[in-house]
Chain A
Amino acid sequence: MTVPGEEFPYISRTPPSGAAGLSPSLPIDLILGRNSVSDFGLLDSGAAVNVLPYDVGLRLGAVWEEQTIPVQLTGNLAASEARVLMVSAAVGKFPPVRLAFAWTQSNSVPVILGQVNLFLEFDVCFFRSRSLFEVKPRSTGSV
């Protein structure tokens, strides 16, 4: 059975800067235990991994010292320590999925949704000329 996709608009990030400032930011509910955080995740197909800023992890109730698997990020994030944090995530009307995040000690980034593993869980089509993108769960297979 083919699950129909859901369309989302490109939105303007702060500070607003017109059409050039639009980005594919996906509304996402992150869930860890009894805590949940509603945020926008930047769909970054060039990012190897998902990234969670430090304050969002804290709002989810995560404890830095309890995360034991370090990961090394790149770019400007290379200067900040990061550890793996597993959370559940709900997108649109689709069932929640498990996402692995590199939880960084930096707060300079938005929630970044990258190849591992947002793009392994969802098929995403970008229609930049129409300022929208479509998301739907992957059809088959598993990680």
Chain B
Amino acid sequence: MSLSELFPQIHVLPRSEKWRLVQLMLADLAREENALTIEADESYPVWSPYEAFDAADTMLRVLKEESGK
């Protein structure tokens, strides 16, 4: 649903609900902004298995064994 379709319905909302909608939208935007921010003194998980060279060696060996069958 587009904003142009929503707007006529929003326009007829009571004043209190319009303010509630504004608050919800501001909170939603703030949450998205925070999701993009890396904070100091916070720890963040690193799921990428970088430098897992022993695992890579093992998997290369398995691939070679399979292709040699």
Where the two chains meet, the residues of A that have a C-beta atom closer than 8 Å to any C-beta of B are 15, 17-18, 20-21, 44, 46-51, 69, 71-77, 82, 84, 86, 98, 100, 102, 108-109, 112, 114-117, 142-143
Give the residue name and chain of the B residue nearest to A100 (CB): B59
Compute how far the CA of A83 lies from the CA of B7 in the bound complex, rounded to whole angstroms. Answer: 54
What 0/1 pattern do residues 33 to 68 of B give for CB contact below 8 A with A?
001100000000111111111111011101110110
Contacts of B50 in A (CB 8 A): 46-48, 74-75
Q: CB of B32 within 8 A of chain A?
A: yes
- Point out the residues of chain A lying under 8 angstroms from B35, CB to CB: 15, 17
Report yes or no: A72 in contact with B52, Cβ–Cβ below 8 A: yes
* Bound CA span A116–B52, Å: 10
* A-B pairs with beta carbons under 8 Å apart, 17 shown: A47-B48, A48-B53, A48-B56, A49-B49, A49-B56, A51-B49, A71-B55, A71-B58, A73-B52, A82-B55, A86-B63, A98-B66, A108-B45, A112-B47, A116-B55, A116-B56, A143-B63
Q: How distant is the Cα of A48 from the Cα of B62 in the complex, in angstroms?
A: 15
Residues on B with beta carbons closer than 8 Å to the beta carbon of A44: 48
Chain A residues contacting B47 (CB-CB under 8 Å) are: 75-77, 108-109, 112
A124 to chain B, nearest CB (A): 16
Residues of the A chain whose Cβ atoms lie less than 8 Å from the Cβ of B46: 75-76
**A121 to B12 Cα, complex, angstroms:** 58
- B67:A142 contact, CB within 8 angstroms: yes
Can you list the 8 inter-chain pairs with the closest CB atoms, starting with the nearest? A71-B55, A100-B59, A48-B52, A75-B46, A116-B56, A48-B56, A76-B45, A73-B49
Residues of chain A lying within 8 A (CB to CB) of residue B67:
98, 142-143
B66:A86 contact, CB within 8 angstroms: yes
Cβ contacts B9-26/A at 8 Å (1 or 0 each): 000000000000000000
**B34 — nearest CB in chain A belongs to which residue?**
A17
Task: Given A75-B50, A109-B47, verify A116-B36 contact (CB < 8 Å).
Answer: no
- A49 vs B52: C-alpha distance when bound (angstroms): 7
